[in-house]
Amino acid sequence: RIYGWGDKSGKLLHWLATRPMANRIIPEILEDSGSLVKTSAEIAHSFASYYTRLYAKHPRPAIERETPLLNDITLPRVSPEARNRLEEAISLAEISSAIASLATGKTPGPDGF
């Protein structure tokens, strides 16, 4: 927000980009075991082991438990009229309307808009 509307070489922007490292340091953490970790190496090891456990592959639930749940779900269906409308070619008016509704001063996102 500041960069988009403010002075590009201003002191505030420079300070925000290079603010002191004290704001970015994690001085200590409390592990699951209850111990307090204070050194950088121990903190790094604690984070690594936490995320290793967090993202470890867990066994899939038994299919017998999933099947009844999935059988009870009623998913909405697209009507034939809506399906035909969705399959139509995109018109020039739709493209113009989409471009006109875009915010100015913004770059395209991953979808191209």
DSSP-based three-state secondary structure for 2: helix
- Residue 7's pLDDT is 60
Mean per-residue pLDDT pooled into runs of 10, the chain (113 residues): 60 72 79 91 93 82 76 90 95 92 81 69
- Give the residue extent of every domain in the chain: 2-54
Element containing residue 30 per DSSP (H, E): strand 29-30
- Residue 1's pLDDT is 54
- Residue 93's pLDDT is 95
C-alpha distances in angstroms, 42 versus 21, 34, 39?
A: 19, 14, 5
Which one, of 98, 112, 100, 103, lies nearest residue 4 by Cα? 103
- Residue 18's pLDDT is 73
